[in-house]
Amino acid sequence: MFKTAIAPEGGEFMSYWYDPELPAGFQDADIEMAEFEAEAARTRALHARGICTHGSGLGHKSPSFYSAEDVAGMLARGRFGNRGGFRGEQSDIGEGMVLCTECGEVNADPFPG
């Protein structure tokens, strides 16, 4: 890898790593972006089939930060509505559980602790 420096017009020099072994002039960021785009395409395909990936969640907090009306508003704006049937405020979500704000299902916290 070589360290290269470029200067935008009238700007300061920026440096980045250049790897001449990557094909066709691609760099690590190009490959990483392609992976992100592929993951987004998979997620869109699942959503189109009505499958929620539980990508947006709300955890337990006592006392509640969000009231029952706030939580109901989040679920109403969710991609799949409130098909999980959750009714209540944030403190009603069990400890170690996460309410998916896209579909209203309560699932185990994927990142406990």
Put residue 95 in one of left, alpha, beta given phi > 0 → left and psi -120 to 50 → alpha. Answer: beta
Annotated domain spans of the chain: 2-48, 57-108
Q: How far is CA 46 from CA 52, 57, 87, 107, in A?
A: 7, 18, 26, 18
In degrees and rounded to multiples of 5, residue 64 shows phi and psi of -65, 140
- The pLDDT, as a whole number, for residue 32 is 87
CA 103 from chain centre, in angstroms, equals: 15
| Token code pair at residue 30 | 């190009």
- The pLDDT, as a whole number, for residue 67 is 93
Neighbouring residues of 18: CB distance < 8 A, sequence distance ≥ 6: 1, 2, 3, 4, 27
24-64 pLDDT, tens digit each: 767 777 888 989 999 999 999 999 999 999 888 999 998 88
